[in-house]
Amino acid sequence: MKLTALATVIALVPLIAGCSERTPRAAASTDSTTPAAPAVAVESTPVAHAAPIESTAAVPAAAVQPTVALRPERPLVSEFRERFGSMFPHIAIVDSYPTAYHGKSNIVVGRGMTADSIVSFSIAVANEAMTELGVAVGSGTGPWPDFTLQVDSVTPDSVYLTGTSASYRRSVQRAYRWWPTGDFTPRFPRPAGATASPVCGGSLRVDLDARTIAGIWMNQNIEAIKREVGAANVIEGTTEAEGETSKMYTIKLCGHEVRRRWNGVAWSDPAFRTAEGLGIGSTLAAFDTAYGKGEPIGEEGNSVRYWPINGVGHFFVDVPDGCYRLAAHHWVVDRSCRATSISFIVFTQP
């Protein structure tokens, strides 16, 4: 499972609670485009997008004629390029929102895209002149290649955004704390849909946003889970992770098993299905349609990483090793391959 080192990957976590006195922006902001085409989606519709505020991509030196004078890259674009890293050659500033709270500044949304259309966003505070980035506000991955993120409003302590995908006909809301700086403590209250005992049936429901399986909330300590499923249905064992031995718990839910480690839950039983009916045996293409194009990774083995649309953290879909290959120093995976194991991150220690 690919969960042992990835809890630290989650840089900044969206807030759950809202703030009062939200002031919506007066006018809609930009959409943005990149050289990559959107992935094929269910009932997808081709759309035209507005140009980003500023967008650049690395240009091979051989393609530049000596007589052509290139426009210097804006400082903010250069700073975002450093923050995203070399895996994201296509950089754009897709939105900005001025604010006078705590001094005059701007909330700026930068977007990076990889060569294979993986989209990532970085939200940061910039100075009033839009020449220098300051503290990071939030970050995350766009579920779809045409996904764009716009600031709706800013309060003294939070930033509210809406993300949209025209081709997938979906929109999601995000909120991040930006003041006081550095206060990004995750808040994970018990979800409303969690139950006090397993909900059994022909298939067992997995809610990747709420982190519940058969109604049982997995983001709670193991003693709480024992009270809900029965102590006899929680079996303690050990596992090896990054050269260290740690505890692993096998949890039986309606006669089916999941494995709980210190930072994640995994299963390989086809009885567990998401709201979209996805689970073991489903193709990566089906997961891509429901959750956006997953990112192939090669950490402690191979898997494809996804981000729940309205949740926090990652989930992973494993497929056979023969589905992967390296191309131009990055992983490529056959999207027709089928899931053999699924796992998601939890944040509460057992």
Residue with tokens 């966003």: 121
User: Which helix (H) or strand (E) element contains residue 54?
Assistant: strand 54-57
Where are the domains positioned within the chain?
17-177, 204-345
Residue with tokens 């293409």: 285
Nearest to 309 by CA among 174, 184, 148, 216: 174
Q: Give just the sign of the alpha carbon dihedral 269, 272, 277, 279.
A: negative
Cα 266 to Cα 189: distance, rounded to the nearest angstrom: 22
Q: What pTM value is reported for the model?
A: 0.61
Which homologous superfamily does the CATH classification assign to the domain defined by 204-345?
A: protein yfey like domain (2.60.460.10)
pLDDT (tens, 9 = 90+) of the chain, 350 residues, equals 555 444 433 334 444 333 334 445 544 334 333 443 333 333 333 333 334 555 555 544 444 455 555 677 889 999 999 999 988 999 999 999 999 998 899 999 999 998 888 899 999 999 999 999 998 988 888 888 888 999 999 998 889 999 998 888 888 888 888 887 655 555 678 999 999 999 999 999 999 989 999 999 999 999 999 999 999 999 999 987 666 788 999 999 999 999 999 889 999 999 999 999 999 999 999 999 888 888 888 765 678 988 877 766 789 999 998 898 888 778 889 999 999 999 998 888 88
3-class state of residue 63 by DSSP: helix
Beta strand residue intervals within 254-308, DSSP E: 256-261, 264-267, 272-274, 295-297, 303-306
The token duo for 130 is 């839009």
